[in-house]
Structure 1
Amino acid sequence: MEKLITAIHYGADAVYLGGSNYSLRAGAGNFTHQGIEQAVTYAHERKVKLYITVNIFAHDRDLQQFTDHLQALRDTGADGLIIADPGIFLLCRETLPDMPIHLSTQANVTNSQSARFWGLQGAQRINLARELGLEEIRTIKQESTTELEVFVHGALCISYSGRCMLSNYLTGRNANQGSCAHPCRYSYALVEEKRPGVYFPVQEDVRGTYIFNSKDLCLLGRLPELVAVGVDAIKIEGRMKSMGYVGAVVRVYRAALDFIQQQIKQGTALEKIILPDPFRHEIDKIGTRGQTENFFNDSPSSDAMLYDTIRTNQQYSPVGIVRKHTPLLIEVRNVLQQGDLIEYLGRDLAPSICTAVAMTTENGIPKERANPGDRIILTTSPALENPEINAVLRKKFDQKTT
């Protein structure tokens, strides 16, 4: 719920979430039925739409009480379902004929005829496969009357739009039913069967190599082109990410779309719109594995992989969430010390930079160090102007920070 609140705070027009069943992120902090109802109410009060993922690839054993589940989802008031499996799609159309359906990227729509097929089945929106380039997206948009959605940011699987069996074979955990163990992020080395225990690096590296470890998708700089094509929605992957990641990424993409809209109103042709450097500088503070544009221009090369580590050093992390603005009360998420330089993530792209000059508990006891979970009254220099509830504060960490 906290991630949902943060995404909405920073400008998401819609959010998507998973329930306890039938979702491809079984390991995420998913919602109970009551939690979904609360989330729908929260989103709708703020004029934000909410979609529920029902995107596993089902076996018959998974469908025994499925229609009851669908009816319960309808009663939450959600705006639609995100589905990948044709059988689940059919059951949804029969059980909830008025419920909008969005086709998941796992359905692997890679051509205009496939898009036309799903449109004829009743899909309101299609989230295209991640293996498409700009010109392919353009062709599908020209040939299709169905809304199109494109993933623009987040983790990438070494698979066909997320349909991977590596986890199932190596760990017995089925990624297509929500239980991926993420073996693509493991470090691998080569073993010859007659030399057990003798490891031969796949590359010349004593630590082995992360041969399946893709950099994260980032199409921030290509947003003007996607707008020009006529894509109806862009999507950010973040259900297994932190609250700080979700808020920071949504904030940058919201600012980018608003910038593009402003340029259009001023008469700038879309093909001439280029996001200024501060957008790139801000997104660079967020990434966990580096960045790739994946198939957007051409098939990705070896440069799209991160071979020597599971992730890059994430220098910036959230230190607090604003819970009250007068006085400034924050809930601490990482160690915050008196004298730390911190950044307040407001609505503008540029964060407000200030110093934590004093901290006290809610009872007025002074503190020089606040730990995760503490609630503190924070004094900054300069003082923050009109800090908003649910806004994020962050700071730059180094590897030695404890």
Structure 2
Amino acid sequence: MATEAQVETCATGQANVSLKKPELLAPAGNLEKLQFAVRYGADAVYIGGQQYGLRAKAGNFSFEDMAKGVDFASRYGAKVYVAANIIAHNEDLQGVKDYFKKLHDIGIDACIVADPALIELGRDAAPDLEMHISTQASITNWKAVQFWAQEGIPRVVLAREVSLEEIREIKRNVDIEIEAFIHGAMCISYSGRCVLSNHMTARDANRGGCAQSCRWPYELYGDKRISVDHDPFTMSSKDLSMVEHLPLLIDAGVDSLKIEGRMKSIHYIATVCNVYRQIIDSYCEDPQNFRLKEEWVDEIWKAAQRSLTTAFYFGDPTEQDQLFGKPEKIPKYDFAALVLDYDPDTQVATLQQRNNFGVGDEVEFFGPNFVRFKQTVKEMWDEENEPLERAPHPMMTVKMKVDQPVHPYDMMRKRK
């Protein structure tokens, strides 16, 4: 993770011009994911509470876990934001003031909101609690950004439908922090304006219940089924990835680079944070000589769940940015084990099993600062030092000979 001194400025490669190094903002669906996001490079994390958020099926945070998360993040110099970005109905307003007051008392750095009612109630309850405007507000132009700036809002999260040139224009016209998505799932509709889930399942996407109906397989019918020569199709987008173009967003003045995925795995969060941390730091250290490393791109694909696209950043998406036909074959990796300890004298690591692995498997260890190596599992023992051939039981403790030193909270992955 970047130190405070490193975060201050980022040269652009232009004479006498510098920018603030952007914040790397990561998702955290529960306390463990928060801790891994911070350890693997996030400057800030966004979480959901048990009310008013749009990820009802994420682990989400009790007030007690929020307090633990704030305490942990503060030790690393990281911030914690809470998403309270539902589109509220009348019955949702009861208890809002108490909720925001509690967030303030816990030490949450900011709330991400979309509904003006929640902004007003939150400000009444906790005037010092910072408010950020959510992507659910679908902000796509500088006048809308200016409106919120005049309302005293310090940051807006842009809609995922804006282009890179539109971001540049916004920054030219309005002095406000801009947050933009750089990685993760894309909504097929303008963010916050989809009612497909409501219609198909009676689950309100704008109140935390999205059933992701756009990702279901569909066939075409008229008076009868229309014969087609391909598999059932989705109405779904490829996932966003700006891994190959991040310097353009930094130069455009984006203040916070946001990763999507509060419901994604620990392996996903650690991998993606690790890559973008390396790119941000490497570019800002020496922008004129920056070169994108192929290993960064390869690493991103190890966490990918779908094909990747740059979405709207370089123009309107085409059919090439949609998931039509048979899906692209993407290598899939399991988070196999977490490193608990390492004995340099014996070169034996103590691991906590997260997915089945055993002798003969090829595995890869990786940790913060992009330290990685591959090896074949040669020898394993249980807690009683009895030989093991496989580690089939979740969370079991395993000892294993490793080829290189490892550290607590390093991870071991295995290709499926």
Q: TM-score, normalised by structure 2?
A: 0.88
Name the CA distance, whole Å, in 2 between partners of 1:159 and 1:100: 28
Partner residue of 2:5? none
Cα deviation, residue 248, structure 1: 0.6
Cα deviation, residue 30, structure 1: 0.7
Partner residue of 2:398? 377
2:74 is paired with a residue whose SS is helix
Cα deviation, residue 372, structure 1: 4.7
Question: Unaligned stretches of 5+ in structure 1?
Answer: 398-402
Q: Give runs of aligned pairs for residues 219-234 of structure 1, distance below 5 A.
A: 219-234=242-257
State yes or no: 1:286 paired with 2:303: yes
Do the aligned partners of 2:236 and 2:323 also contact (CA within 8 Å) in 1?
yes
Do the aligned partners of 1:322 and 1:389 also contact (CA within 8 Å) in 2?
yes
State yes or no: 1:261 paired with 2:280: no
Q: Give runs of aligned pairs for residues 2-401 of structure 1, distance below 5 A.
A: 2-193=32-223, 195=224, 199-200=225-226, 203-205=228-230, 207-210=231-234, 212-264=235-287, 268=288, 273-308=290-325, 312-326=329-343, 327-349=348-370, 351-382=372-403, 384-385=404-405, 387-397=406-416
Cα deviation, residue 380, structure 1: 3.3
Cα deviation, residue 324, structure 1: 2.4
Deviations 1:78-124 (A, max 9, x none): 11111111111121122211111111111111111111111111211
Do the aligned partners of 1:12 and 1:250 also contact (CA within 8 Å) in 2?
yes
2:398 alignment partner AA: I
Do the aligned partners of 1:288 and 1:312 also contact (CA within 8 Å) in 2?
no
1:219 alignment partner AA: M
Do the aligned partners of 2:101 and 2:122 also contact (CA within 8 Å) in 1?
no
Distance 1:65 1:381, change over 3 A: closer
Aligned-pair Cα RMSD in Å: 1.7
Aligned length: 382
Name the CA distance, whole Å, in 2 between partners of 1:251 and 1:132: 26
Cα deviation, residue 273, structure 1: 3.9
Question: Unaligned stretches of 5+ in structure 2?
Answer: 1-30
Do the aligned partners of 2:339 and 2:407 also contact (CA within 8 Å) in 1?
yes
Distance 1:373 1:57, change over 3 A: same
Name the CA distance, whole Å, in 2 between partners of 1:376 and 1:36: 28
Distance 1:244 1:372, change over 3 A: farther
1:364 is paired with a residue whose SS is coil
Q: TM-score, normalised by structure 1?
A: 0.91
Name the CA distance, whole Å, in 1 between partners of 2:280 and 2:177: 18
Larger mean CA deviation between 70-79 and 355-364 belongs to 355-364
Name the CA distance, whole Å, in 2 between partners of 1:200 and 1:323: 56
